[in-house]
Structure 1
Amino acid sequence: MAQTHPALAEIAAAARKLGRPVEDGQAASLTDYLSQLVKWNAKMNLVGPSDWRTIFDTLVVDSLYLADFLNGLDLGNAPLCLDLGAGAGLPGIPLRILWPHGDYWLVESRDKRATFMRSAVGRLGLTATSVFHGRAEDALDRLARHGQHATADLIVSRAFMPWPQLLPFVRPMLRPGGTVVILANTPPPPEPDLPAGWSLADVASYPAAGKKRYFWSLRPA
């Protein structure tokens, strides 16, 4: 039977085992998020794994290392971030627990996942974190109505669409000098194979579920 309520000490120990320790307050928020996700997942099938430990080791792990990767990028003091295809809030919600900078919009077209994210964001009290339920191409219109500037400083994508289609798709959403971060299971292609007008900035790898995963940071050339 899936364990629905991980203990704070278990979350802290799991993070240490991955080589990315978290503070007590962060561990408490991660514990609450995972408890909610496992409970909702039993009814809505939001993610594949059913137990918190597998979710942590295979999905939350990305967020732990992504927080450190973003801290190493030049994103300005208060970046506006779009997380496209945010799903059940992975990597975005655990990321916001660890990396609370700027305004972060979780963009998701599927109703059940958007509903869950709103519940989780509200329960966790995540500041400057919003859920947009709709198509990614409509997100900027909503941002403009909320007084945000018209383009994003950072766009995060994990399996939203294949990268050769993603880069031209997001280009109109990105400000000059903005950054796209792709979460991938493979290293990036050689720079000459990127679409015209894009350059590879930073790349990092990290261990996840016994394999190696990657972050690619790209910018319009």
Structure 2
Amino acid sequence: MDKSSLLKKAGQEIGISFSEVQIHQFLDYYECLVEKNKVMNLTAITEYEEVVLKHFIDSLSIVKAIDMKKCKKVIDIGTGAGFPGIPLKIAFPELELVLLDSLNKRVLFLKETIDKLGLTGITAVHARAEDAARKETYRESFDLCVSRAVANLSSLSEYCIPFVAKGGLFVSYKASDVEEEVKEAKHALYLLGGKMKEKIEFVLPSSDIGRSFIIIEKVKTTPLKYPRKAGLPSKEPLK
């Protein structure tokens, strides 16, 4: 199966149809990723089929959890090489999207990639989440905050929930076994103005890879003392 057909088939398995333009954007994104990966560490996954499944389709699987057509402003925290943000922008071009990462080299890669793919209404920002969340431009400004970053849910919630407008959602991409983590984060969510809405488990298409979405609703304004200063949310997660 050629690269385009494989991508189309993978999209159909999660209920998304790609246009020719979108197919080309994904292929170009793949090329940018593997090329830059030769000189900096962006991903351990470089085989095309694996990138499609474990990066592109995994990023887009959020459609199993929420209606992306109802989202307008989205922020991706700790985006790394652009996941899930860039696949979401390609698949849902009407989104206004911010990619946030604390490493400038990655942000430069993201900016180059955005230009190469001809994407508009998307910006890559170099900042720590703890600092960006204090800026009026970003604080409580987004319908949806997403993150595939590797951190426990308590820490991740402190990084992400301050960006979400009241009534909006924070969706954390996780592996399948998250019961304990969700239980431990319950009080942190309360302190931050969030509330556990639901957990959706699924298996990536044509694989045995179990994934979960933790969906948190923003029910009240986040107190101004959160997030705490840089480094603290990871070192001392809210209990």
TM-score strictly above 0.5: yes
Paired residue for 1:12, among 8, 20, 28?
A: 8
Q: Distance in 1 between matches of 2:17 and 2:27?
A: 14
Question: Which stretch has the larger CA shift, 64-73 or 46-55?
Answer: 64-73
- Shift of residue 180, structure 1, vs aligned partner: 0.4
The 8 Å contact of residues 38 and 52 in structure 1, kept in 2 or not, is answered as no
Q: Which residue of 2 aligns with 1:217?
A: 215
Residue identity matched to 2:216: L
Written as runs of structure 1 = structure 2, the 5 A alignment for 1:1-221 is 7-16=3-12, 20-67=16-63, 69-71=65-67, 75=71, 79-140=72-133, 144=137, 151-186=141-176, 189=179, 194-195=186-187, 196=190, 197-208=193-204, 209-221=207-219
Count of equivalent residues: 210
The Cα of 1:110 is off from its aligned counterpart by 1.3
Alignment RMSD (CA, Å): 2.8
Q: Distance in 1 between matches of 2:142 and 2:150?
A: 17
Structure 1 runs not aligned, ≥5 long: 1-5
2: CA distance between counterparts of 1:126 and 1:62? 20
Structure 1 residues 113 and 143: alpha-carbon distance in aligned structure 2, compared to 1, 3 A threshold: farther
Task: Tell me whether 99-108 or 61-70 shows the greater mean CA deviation.
Answer: 61-70
Relative distance call for 1:28 and 1:68 in structure 2 (3 A) is: farther
- Give me the whole-angstrom Cα distance separating, in 2, the residues matched to 1:34 and 1:169: 28
Give deviations 1:165-206, integer Å, cap 9, x for gaps: 222343333222221001011265487652235322243333
Output the TM-score relative to the length of structure 1.
0.80
Unaligned stretches of 5+ residues in structure 2: 220-239
Worse-superposed segment, 148-157 or 99-108: 148-157
8 A Cα contact 2:161 2:194, kept in partner: no
Q: Distance in 1 between matches of 2:35 and 2:136?
A: 31
Task: Give SS of 1:154's match.
Answer: strand
Distance, in Å, in 2 between the alignment partners of 1:173 and 1:99 is: 21
> Which is further off, 154-163 or 28-37?
154-163
Counterpart-to-counterpart distance in 1, 2:19 and 2:113: 20
Compared with structure 1, are the counterparts of its residues 220 and 141 closer, same or farther at alpha carbon in structure 2 (3 Å cutoff)? closer
Q: In 1, are the aligned partners of 2:98 and 2:122 still within 8 Å (CA)?
A: yes
Q: Deviation at 1:129?
A: 0.7
Report the Cα distance in structure 2 between the residues aligned to 1:51 and 1:175, rounded to whole angstroms: 38
Change in Cα spacing, 1:149 to 1:135, as seen in structure 2 (3 Å) is: closer
Q: Which moved more, 1:148-157 or 1:161-170?
A: 148-157
Offset from partner CA, 1:57-112 (integer Å, 9 cap, x none)? 2121212222454426854xxx3222110000011111111123442110011122
Distance 2:90 2:67 in 1: 14
Q: Could you tell me how far 1:149 is from its partner in structure 2? A: 7.1
Aligned residues of 2:143 and 2:168 also touching (Cα < 8 A): yes
